[in-house]
Amino acid sequence: MNAEEHAFRFSANIINRNRTLLPNTTLTYDIQRIHFHDSFEATKKACDQLALGVVAIFGPSQGSCTNAVQSICNALEVPHIQLRWKHHPLDNKDTFYVNLYPDYASLSHAILDLVQHLKWRSATVVYDDSTGLIRLQELIMAPSRYNIRLKIRQLPLDSDDSRPLLKEMKRGREFRIIFDCSHTMAAQILKQAMAMGMMTEYYHFIFTTLDLYALDLEPYRYSGVNLTGFRILNVDNPHVSAIVEKWSMERLQAAPRAESGLLDGVMMTDAALLYDAVHIVSVCYQRAPQMTVNSLQCHRHKAWRFGGRFMNFIKEAQWEGLTGRIVFNKTSGLRTDFDLDIISLKEDGLEKVGVWSPTEGLNITEVAKGRGPNVTDSLTNRSLIVTTVLEEPFVMFRKSDRTLFGNDRFEGYCIDLLKELAHILGFSYEIRLVEDGKYGAQDDKGQWNGMIKELIDHKADLAVAPLTITHVREKAIDFSKPFMTLGVSILYRKPNGTNPSVFSFLNPLSPDIWMYVLLAYLGVSCVLFVIARFSPYEWYDAHPCNPGSEVVENNFTLLNSFWFGMGSLMQQGSELMPKALSTRIIGGIWWFFTLIIISSYTANLAAFLTVERMESPIDSADDLAKQTKIEYGAVKDGATMTFFKKSKISTFEKMWAFMSSKPSALVKNNEEGIQRTLTADYALLMESTTIEYVTQRNCNLTQIGGLIDSKGYGIGTPMGSPYRDKITIAILQLQEEDKLHIMKEKWWRGNGCPEEENKEASALGIQKIGGIFIVLAAGLVLSVLVAVGEFVYKLRKTAEREQVSLKNRGPHGERREWGAQGVSRVHTSQARMVSEPALPWLQQEACQPHLCSDSEHTSPPLWLQARPSPLLSSWPMQKPPLWPSCLVSPIRSPNTARALFNTSFKPCHSPAENPPG
C-alpha cells in the first residue's frame, strides 16, 4: 500500500471515528489503481465508481488519464479533487475542479523572491520534464525584469544518472542551482552531487519540491552545502504535529521500509494534501442540506442534480488543515492563499528560516546558511585548506635545527595573520604550497593558474598570501577586505657616489646664476661710475686749506668703481665710501644683493660639499620608459604584470611593449628579480611593501620614485564562499586593535640602512674644495704678472720721455751716471717723484718774495699734511725746511678739475739750511 492510499484510508477512518464531523453519516471509499498513461482504463474505472454513487473523485494525480477523468466529472457534474500540479489554461472550462496543490505561478514568485533576497546575480535552473518550463515560466521570465542571469538545463529523461550534467555544471563553475524535480529525483541528485564533490559550502541548491523535508539529509548535515527548500506542511501547529505523529506510527507498521533516500514513516506532502481534501469534502457534505447521493451512469449523460451546489460549497469553503489555510479561487478552483515555510539545512538538520505567502511575500526570520551571522557556526571547528606561495616576509620556511612538519614549517606575516584569524573564528587549517608557485593569472584562453586556479577548482578554501585584489581576479574568486595597502614601484640598485670635481665649490649656484652675478657686478660698477661723475656731491676740494682753490676731485674712477663692487661682493672693505644719496642708494642695494647671494651660497655650500651626492640614471617610471639601456620587468603572471598589460596609459603601454618584446625581462619570482637587480643593469617593478622589506635588508637596493598605482592585498576565497564576510570582519577587528601594524613592524624591521638625509657632515677633502686653491694660486700668479707688466710699462714710458735706456734706470725710475771709479751718481727727477694724485706735476719757477714768510714753521702746511707725496715724505715731518723754490700745479690728473686761473706758491727756505736736491 503506497503512501497516498494509506493517507486516504487514514483520513477516512479519523472522520468516521469523529462523530462530531459526520454524526449520522459513515464515510465509505473505493480505491482503484490505474496506469498513468492509460486513459481508457482510467475512464472505465471512473465510470464504475460513479455507478456506486460518490460525492467526489480524488485523482489521478498525474499522467494523461487525468484529463479523461476530468471530462467525465464535468459531464456528470461530480466534483473532481486534484492533489498535484496540473497545467491550467486561462480559458479552462472545468467548473467541477479544485486543486489543493499550490499554484506554480505563486510558487515561482516565492522562488524569485528568495533568489532576490540571496542577492544572486546568476543562477542555473534544472528541470526534469517539459512541463517544468511551464511551471517555472514566471521565474524564467525574470531576467527581463530583474538583474539576474539564468542558465536553463534539463535532466536526462531516459536515465536517473545526473552525474554528466553535474560534472558539466561543476566545470562551468555554476554554484547556484535551482532544481525543479520530484523528491525521488532530488534524493538521487544529492547522492550523486556528494560523489562529485559538490556538496560543499560553495554550492547553494534550491529545490522546488515540497517534500524536501522528507528526504534523508543526514549524510549532508556536516558537508557545509547550502540547501534550501519549501514546505507547506504546518508542523508548527501542535494539532498537526499530533496527527503527523499518529500517521507515522501507522505508516511504520504498514511499511517498515521507506523508499530509498526517504525518511521512515514521514508524511509526504501528497498524503497531507489528500488528508485535507477528504476533510474538506466531508465538512462541505455536512453543511449541504438535504443532499442525497445516487448512482450515475456514464452512458446516460445524466448529471448529479446536487453536483453544482456541492461544488460551490467546496469552492467557498475555508479550512485550516495539515497544509495550513485552504482557500480556493471560485473561478479557476486553484488554491490561492497559503503559507510556505522556507527551510534550510543546518548541522542540526532542516530548520525553518522564513515564511512566504502570496499576500505578504517573503519574510526571512533567520538568514539561510552560508550568509550572515550564521557563518561563524560553519567556521567553528572546521578544518580549512589554505593555499599560499613562498614570498618573504609573508610566507617563509622556518629555520630550525630539527625537522619540522605541517604548519610548523612556515613563518611570516601571513602565517601570523592566519593564526589570528583562526583564533578569532575558531577554525583549524592546513597550509599547502601552490604547485606551480604562481599567484594566478589568466591566459589567452581564459584559463587560470596559481592560487586562483586552486580556489576555482575548490582544492583550497583560502588563499592567504600577498595576493593583490584586481577586478579580473574578482570575477573569478571572492576577496576579503584588504589587510594591507600598497602600490607598484621600482626597485633598482643604489647608485654609487659621484667623484667630486675640484671646482665643486661652484656647485651651490647654477652656471646661470654665476653669469647673472657677473653681469650684475659689471652693471652696478658701471652705473656707480656714471652716477658718481654725474652727482655734484661726489666731488670734493682737492686743496681744502686754500680757500681760493677750485680744484675738485672724485674718488670713483672706473677702476675704483669696480673695486668698490668687488669689495662689497667679497664682504671686504674698499676704503671707498659714497657721499651722494644716489650713490649710497646704489651701494645699499648692491650690499643687500650681495648679502642674499653670499648667504645663499654659504648655506648651499655645506650641503653640496659635506654630503655625498647620489646620481641615479632614473628617477621615475617616465625616465625608465624613455630609455632602453636599463632593462626592466616584473614577475611573470603576477598582478604587477597584469597591471601593465591592461593599462591604457601611454607610458605604461610603452613599458609593457618593452617587457613583452623581451621575454627575458619577466622573472619567475621576486627572488630572481632581486638577484638580477643586484648583478645586472636591471630594474624590477614590484609591490612597494616588498620593496620596503628588501631595502631594509639590502642597503645596495633602493626604491626609485613614488607609487605608480594604489591597491591592496586580500585573502582569496572561492566564488560564493560563506567564509568571506566573516574573515573580513575579523580583519577589521585586527586593524582596529592595531595588530596588523604590530605584525608588519615585526617582520619588516631589518638592519636599518642609514637614511641619506640623516648622514652626519663629513670633513671636506681636497677633491671637493681643491679648486679654490687653484683659483687662489692663479690669482697670485696673475697679480705678479700684472705687477711685472706695470713695472716694465712704467720704465718704458719714462725712458721714452727722457731718452734713457732701461738699464740706466733705477727701480723707481731714477737716472744713473757712472764715473771712472764705478761710483754712480744719482739724479732724482723731482717731477717724477711727486705723487700724481696729490700734486701731479711740480715745476720750479722764480721765487715770489711777497708770498714767502721769514718766520719759522714747526710743521708743513695743512695741504701737505693732508696729501703727502713720496718727495715730501722724505723730509723730516717735525720741522720741514723752507726751500727757495715755488711750486705750481698744472692740471693733468683726470681726478683733478682745472681752476679758472693758476696759483703759484713760493715756499722760502731758512738761511741756515740748504734746499733739498
What residues form the annotated binding site? 466, 468, 473, 640, 687
Tell me how crowded residue 300 is: count the other CB atoms within 10 A of its CB: 8
Enumerate the known binding-site residues for L-glutamate. 466, 468, 473, 640, 687
Residues 183 and 55: their CA atoms lie apart, in Å, by 31
Which helix (H) or strand (E) is 904 found in, with range? Answer: none
Residues 836 and 155: their CA atoms lie apart, in Å, by 127
Residue carrying the nine cell digits 560564493: 720
Closest CA to 103 of 91, 86, 89: 86
- Please report the sign of the dihedral spanned by the C-alpha atoms of residue 832, residue 836, residue 839, residue 841: positive
**Cα–Cα distance list, 302 to 79, 313, 354 (Å):** 15, 21, 50
The secondary structure of 841-893, three-state, reads CCEEECCCHHHCCCCCCCCCCHHHHHCCCCCHHHCCCCCCCCCCCEEECCCCC
Closest CA to 439 of 454, 447, 450: 450
How buried is residue 179: exposed, middle or buried, by Cβ count under 10 Å (0-12/13-18/19+)? buried
How buried is residue 20: exposed, middle or buried, by Cβ count under 10 Å (0-12/13-18/19+)? exposed
**Cα–Cα distance list, 673 to 196, 639, 653, 740, 751 (Å):** 42, 15, 21, 27, 21
Contact of 625 with 651, CB cutoff 8 Å? yes
Residues 467 and 414: their CA atoms lie apart, in Å, by 11
**DSSP at 541:** E
**Cα–Cα distance list, 456 to 175, 183, 194 (Å):** 11, 30, 18
The grid cell for 79 is 466534483
Tell me how crowded residue 820 is: count the other CB atoms within 10 A of its CB: 5
Residues 731 and 725: their CA atoms lie apart, in Å, by 10
How buried is residue 105: exposed, middle or buried, by Cβ count under 10 Å (0-12/13-18/19+)? middle
- Residue 892 phi/psi, 5-degree rounding, is -130, -20
